[in-house]
Amino acid sequence: MCYNASMFEVVFLGTSASAPSIRRGLPAAVVMHKEYRFMVDCGEGTQRQLLRSGLGFRRLDKILLTHGHLDHILGLAGLASTFSRWEMIDRMEIYGGRWALDRVEALMKVVFGRHRPPIRLILTDLEPGVIIEDNAFQLSAFSVTHRGPGNFGFTFQERARRPFIVDKAEAMGVPAGPERAHLVRGEEVTLADGRTIHPDDVLGPSRPGTKLVFIGDVARTDNLVEPARDADALVIEATYTGLEADVAREFGHLSAGQAAKLALAADVRHLILHHISRRYAEREILEEATPIFPNTTVARDLDHFQIRRSAPLLKVERDRRTVQPTLKDMTRKS
């Protein structure tokens, strides 16, 4: 049997909460799927992190904002300036709530003054629902609760597909080539000997695609169980531990324990925590989360993960020797 399982990749550029630390920068990440690249938030210092990660700036024209707080958007100023000066990218599509976009517009006036920006800025006011989709992939937004209006989480979802069963195709004499491609697309084919092969003859039962849910700052989880349901990876903040639950409530954030309980209730496969306060060591976050949800990882700056349906979370080592194709190879092909 052959099942061409696709995947999402996430590179964390900044994983600190509110202010940078020696080891953690301000919030930003890049989600990749086939030809797509999405940046989620863009804190100060994101440009340098892009260069350190090896991602660079290519095809980085779609930016998703979880909300409009400054630690999540200030890096857009430098990024827009760089894009316009180097003329590498002629447009930036920025998706966010209205309040976040208003702040982005004000920020761009600081960068470019009264002059028209030399790059095209496309600001899309988000509502819950589908943002982008094609025949294999869908990106959607859902509302989350945090301080201020217009806060969103994002679902990256591959469409369900039926696996092509090579053994069956070979037994029926279906040659490798266009005939198999037609069958994968659900089209029947006629072989050279006159036999008609139907997709049901060589395709297995439908399988759900990979699902990645990405959430930034959030104050409550009871309304997130269904959006996160059955995710192969849930990325969510863990700014505090339960020892400071009152502070978390005051500022609209989660503890590591709350995030872990959400992962358990939503039956996700992997929990990746980010947006960590400088007051905690990674060990403290894990000690609170893992007794509740053992399959928990605390993301570090420049961590690169591959996420596949029903498969272990795979970390791509920065020496790029352990996973093929390497990030360098993928960039070269773009």
Q: Where are the alpha helices (DSSP H) in 221-326?
A: 225-228, 245-251, 256-265, 282-289
- Cα separation of 138 and 152, whole Å? 16
Residue 68 has which token pair? 């409009």
Q: Which helix (H) or strand (E) holds 181?
A: helix 178-184
Locate 181 and state its tokens. 């491609």
Please, which residues have CB within 8 angstroms of residue 19's CB and are 6 or more apart in sequence?
A: 26, 71, 278
Tokens 């994002």 found at: 154
Neighbours of 15 (CB within 10 A): 28
CA 278 – CA 263 distance, rounded (Å): 23
Question: 211-214 and 296-298 as β-strands: parallel, antiparallel, unpaired?
Answer: unpaired
Residues 6 or more apart whose Cβ sits within 8 Å of residue 188: 182, 196, 197, 198, 199
- Tokens 């930016």 found at: 63
Spatial distance between the Cα atoms of 72 and 231, rounded to a whole number of angstroms: 24
Residue 49 has φ and ψ, to the nearest 5°, of: -65, -35
> HSE-up of 259 (CA within 13 Å, CB side)?
39
Q: Which of 41, 61, 71, 301 is catalytic?
A: 71
Are 181 and 31 spatial neighbours (Cβ–Cβ below 8 Å)? no
Place of tokens 């795979």: 314
Which residue's structure tokens are 């659900």?
186
> Is the Cβ–Cβ distance between 43 and 26 less than 8 Å?
yes
Rounded to whole angstroms, the Cα distance separating 76 from 78 reads 6
Q: Does the annotation count 71 as an active-site position?
A: yes
Give catalytic residue positions: 71
